[in-house]
Amino acid sequence: MVALANDLPPGFADPVADANAVFRAVLSAISYPGRIVPLPVAPAPPPPLSLAAAAILLTLADLETPVWLSPGLDGDGVRAWLAFHCGCPLVVEPGRALFAVTESWDMLSEFSPGTAENPEQSATVILQVDSLRPGRGMSLRGPGIPDVERLEVPGAGPSLVRALAGNHRLFPRGVDVVLAAAGRLACLPRTIQVTEEASCMSR
């Protein structure tokens, strides 16, 4: 059931420079949480894998990193593409993944938060969203943010804030979230305190 290799969409055009550019974009996004960073390259992954999610996996996933795909994203095309370009093992249990790609934040607490002694063993969750809007929406505070940053995920209700706040309370454990929209990304590491718009207005 694996697609033929010559049907596979390509990976990075320039594997060394493109991987570096995407890493620097992610590094910048995780250093300044909530800021929207443009994706510097445009790979052509098999749908429904988004550009940003695909670029991050091409950059960071390999044979050492178990990857979990949400049922909505899993499919022969995506599996064959990841197997060929990343060589990463795909896992069934979300708790075993180092990278997870999903379209929903309902499962955030099911991914590995690491341990108090080894918090770096937590998962990085790539959350595919339709779009990101700066300057409004959730209020973000924490390392990397001088005062307060605002970020809106259109269509996401208070359940996203609740999921992220629950994750933050686990510190130093917790997953790190990369919000991946088409061609843009933003990071919400576990250090970030997320509150709803209203509590920001009252300050």
Whole-number Cα distances in Å, 164 to 28, 68, 158 = 20, 19, 10
**Sheet containing 193-195: which strands, arranged edge to edge?**
149-152, 133-141, 193-195
Q: Which of residues 66-125 bind another protein (CB under 8 A)?
A: 98, 115-120, 122, 124
| In the complex, minimum distance from the CB of residue 92 to another protein, in angstroms, rounded to a whole number | 22
> Which pair of tokens denotes residue 126?
């790539």
**CA torsion, points 100, 59, 174, 195, in degrees to nearest 10?**
-90
Tell the residue number behind the tokens 């959730």, with chain if given. Answer: 138
Candidate segments 46-54, 68-76, 143-151, 158-166, binder of another protein by CB under 8 A: 143-151
| Among positions 15, 72, 95, 154, the unique one binding another protein when judged by CB under 8 A | 15
| Among positions 9, 36, 48, 62, the unique one binding another protein when judged by CB under 8 A | 62
Q: How far apart are CA 105 and CA 126, in angstroms?
A: 10
Task: Residue 96: name the closest of 78, 114, 83 by CA.
Answer: 114
| In the complex, minimum distance from the CB of residue 58 to another protein, in angstroms, rounded to a whole number | 10
| Among positions 50, 59, 102, 128, the unique one binding another protein when judged by CB under 8 A | 59
| Interaction of residue 169 with another protein, rule CB under 8 A | no
Residues that bind another protein (CB under 8 A): 15-17, 19-21, 23-24, 26-27, 30-32, 59-62, 64-65, 98, 115-120, 122, 124, 142-146, 171-172, 176, 189-191
